[in-house]
């Protein structure tokens, strides 16, 4: 097996430049400003216009990458924080509960996801495929009653997007309590008793400070 070599300075510089461009694009997406010149994007990223085209063919390519990176970062973080959970129903619930709390901890990325709801729902990256995996696994294990997997996923994604929108509209709303109430209702919909749904939603979550120490 070939050994992996550490990235050289050129590779690291390219990675940092790409990250700066994607970060700038995510800021613009969160603000709903996509009709901007490439120069404005590169000024925000503090790179040259020529450098932009070393990484992306167009603004559309950059904005697409910005959404995909946000989706994958959210999904990868949830994977890591639920890796030790054996019960797929608990994994599903905890991912939803933690994602609900992410809306406040990472508002810029939250706005990116909220402005691209359909991409969130149908993307092959990020939260949706992971939620679908947990629902499917929980149903196979007899933990969930699911008649239509795609509808179950649509309900989950819609509830998460609606929650994020509500949390931004109501800054004083308790994000933790709201997240837990919604997922408790989803668990009941999937056939769980009120007692079991309440138990799962009362379980201690992983250290949420990890959400702040790891960033996209």
Domains of the chain: 67-213 (1.10.357.10)
DSSP state of 70: H
- Around Cβ 43, how many Cβ atoms within 10 Å? 14
Q: Is the pLDDT of residue 215 over 60?
A: no
pLDDT of residue 10: 74
Is 205 exposed, middle or buried (CB count within 10 Å of its CB: 0-12, 13-18, 19+)? middle
- Tell me the CB-side half-sphere exposure of residue 114, using CA atoms within 13 A: 25
* 13/54 Cα distance (integer angstroms): 12
**129-183, pLDDT tens digit by residue?**
889 999 999 999 999 999 999 999 999 999 999 999 999 999 999 999 999 999 9
**66-104, pLDDT tens digit by residue?**
888 877 877 788 788 788 899 999 999 999 999 899 888
Residue 193 pLDDT grade (very low, low, confident, very high; cuts 50, 70, 90): very high
Structure tokens at 163: 């929650």
Collapsing DSSP to helix, strand or coil, 36 comes out as coil
Structure tokens at 146: 């699911």
* 40/208 Cα distance (integer angstroms): 34
pLDDT of residue 78: 79
């Amino acid at each position: 097996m070939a050994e992996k070599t550490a990235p050289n300075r050129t590779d690291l510089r390219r990675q940092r430049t790409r990250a700066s461009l994607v970060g700038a694009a995510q800021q613009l997406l969160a603000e709903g400003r996509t009709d901007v010149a490439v120069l404005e994007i590169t000024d925000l990223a503090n790179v040259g216009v020529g450098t932009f085209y070393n990484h992306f063919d167009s603004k559309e390519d950059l904005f697409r990458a910005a959404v995909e990176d946000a989706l994958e970062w959210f999904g990868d973080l949830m994977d890591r924080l639920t890796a030790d959970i054996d019960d797929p129903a608990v994994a599903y619930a905890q991912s939803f509960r933690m994602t609900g709390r992410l809306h406040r901890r990472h508002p810029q990325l939250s706005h990116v996801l909220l402005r691209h709801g359909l991409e969130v729902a149908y993307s092959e990256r990020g939260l949706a495929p992971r939620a679908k995996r947990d629902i499917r696994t929980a149903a196979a294990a007899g933990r969930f009653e699911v008649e239509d997997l795609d509808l179950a996923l649509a309900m989950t994604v819609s509830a998460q997007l609606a929650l994020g929108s509500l949390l931004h509209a109501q800054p004083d709303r308790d994000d933790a309590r709201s997240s837990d109430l919604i997922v408790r209702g989803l668990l009941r919909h999937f056939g769980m008793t009120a007692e079991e749904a309440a138990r799962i939603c009362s379980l201690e979550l992983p250290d949420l400070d990890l959400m702040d120490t790891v960033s996209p």
